[in-house]
Structure 1
Amino acid sequence: MDSQKRLARTAGMYYLIVAVLGAFAHIVRAQVYVPGDAAASADNVVAKASLVNHSFVADLVQATFLVFVVMTLYRLLHHAGKNVARAMVIFVVIAVAIICLNMIHQLGALLVATDPAYAAAFGVQGSEALVLLLLDLQHFGYLVAQIFFGLWLFPLGLLAIRSGMFPRLLARLLMVASAGYLLDVLLQFLTPELADAVNPVLVTLFSVAEGSMLFYLLIRGVRTLRPAEQAVLAA
């Protein structure tokens, strides 16, 4: 049990790094990206070039630590279902691959906005339009990655239930959040106006579900199973 708690708390520490760096990168993106306004977006990138560059690195680091999170959770939970645990790892690896490739769009926007050669080649308005296009592509690229970032929470919740190491309410909350992520992606692509209305509720759901898991891992680690529960799982 002590070794399981150490694994859980290690996963929680990695998860905390993902949460902090991911939140920082998201806040910076929200500050510079103005959908539909090329001039404002380009001006924001220039004015906050250092922050944009730091957020680029933060996103790459948090994506790397997300792999560490799922590898640690695999070690902790694979006994509850190897195929489910493998699916969890695969979903995270796909999400991380998309996120890392998608970051090239942010780097491209930073280069175009801050290097005068692009304005000389495309004109000021042309370079601003290119900056907005790259930020648009990054925005939608994140939505694509969100499919798999949502999917991994479902097997995580299922493993949490099967293992008995986490409260059932927490496990079910993760599974509901998984469906919420997928719903958000569909709405963002199909009905953006409805997505804007529903998004605050979904973001609250995501924050509660993943925040609860993060702090449970850090503070409690795993549940101490009763002898009867241990016997059932061993069988």
Structure 2
Amino acid sequence: MNITQNQSVQTARITGIWYLMLAISGILGFMVFHPQIFIAGNPEETLTNLSTLESTARFRLLFEFLIVVSQALAAVWFYRLFKTINEWAAWTLGIWGVVNSVAIMISAISMASAIGIANSSLQALDDKILLIQIFQSIITNAWGVGGLFFGLWLFPMGYIVIKSQRMPIWLGRVIFLGGIGYLLSTVINYMGIDFPYNRILILPATIGEFWMIGYLLIFGIRPVAK
């Protein structure tokens, strides 16, 4: 490999590290810790959890911070990796990735506020329950609307992979399909449609993202075809 290719592989592996951190923090934060604290449709129990399990709640908040940071850094490093291949698509990928990070930042702010209110001695119990319900709704919708941009950033990612062929072409196709799935899942959810297979729509995105992480970390990126 020449110096330029070595640099590209190094950039790809750093990108993979940030993407892996995003995946790990998302799984631990949203799938492991979140259900222990935030109970959908039950602000009273959520308030109790925020008070009695404050350390767990703060761990949940810490993982939300990690999601915000790793999402933003992954977006920036993807731009750096792909800018010489297709600068317009790389900019789009970076911008949409950062917007998704901002959406999750709103969730983190609401989460921090909910923890503060739950452990405050200033508000009456009924006021606390109402505020927790509001913040819980903001958290849920920040993630829900953020799904739009998490789907959108997969489109330029998949497009660049397909067109450049510097990664497996089917990786690009699966990621592109995952973007469509995220958008459809979000729209179906907010239309209030009872679709039992809604979660299956984001399965291609999950497969594509872990495939992308593995490829970035193990292989990096292929050299330019001569």
TM-score, with normalisation over the residues of structure 1?
A: 0.87
2:17 maps to which of 13, 18, 30: 13
Unaligned 5+ runs, structure 1: none
- 1:79 alignment partner, SS class: coil
Q: Report matched runs for 1:38-187 at 5 Å.
A: 38-119=43-124, 124-187=125-188
Change (3 A) 1:193 1:35: farther
CA distance in 1, matches of 2:108, 2:53: 17
Amino acid at match of 1:148: F
Unaligned 5+ runs, structure 2: none
1:37 and 2:42 aligned: yes
**Partner residue of 1:212?**
211
**Partner residue of 2:8?**
4
Query: Number of matched residues?
Result: 221
CA distance in 2, matches of 1:147, 1:10: 25
The C-alpha deviation readout for 1:172-228, integer Å capped at 9, x for no partner, is: 11111111111111111112532xx22331343332111111111111212356xxx
The C-alpha deviation readout for 1:4-36, integer Å capped at 9, x for no partner, is: 211111111111111111222202222222222
Q: Of Structure 1 and Structure 2, which has the larger fraction of its residues in helix?
A: 1
Are the aligned partners of 1:8 and 1:221 in contact in 2 as well (CA < 8 Å)? yes
- Deviation of 1:64 (Å): 1.5
TM-score, with normalisation over the residues of structure 2?
A: 0.90
Are the aligned partners of 2:106 and 2:139 in contact in 1 as well (CA < 8 Å)? no
Backbone CA RMSD of aligned residues: 1.7
CA distance in 2, matches of 1:132, 1:96: 23
- Deviation of 1:2 (Å): 2.1
Amino acid at match of 2:213: L
CA distance in 1, matches of 2:41, 2:76: 40
- 1:193 alignment partner, SS class: coil
- 1:222 alignment partner, SS class: coil
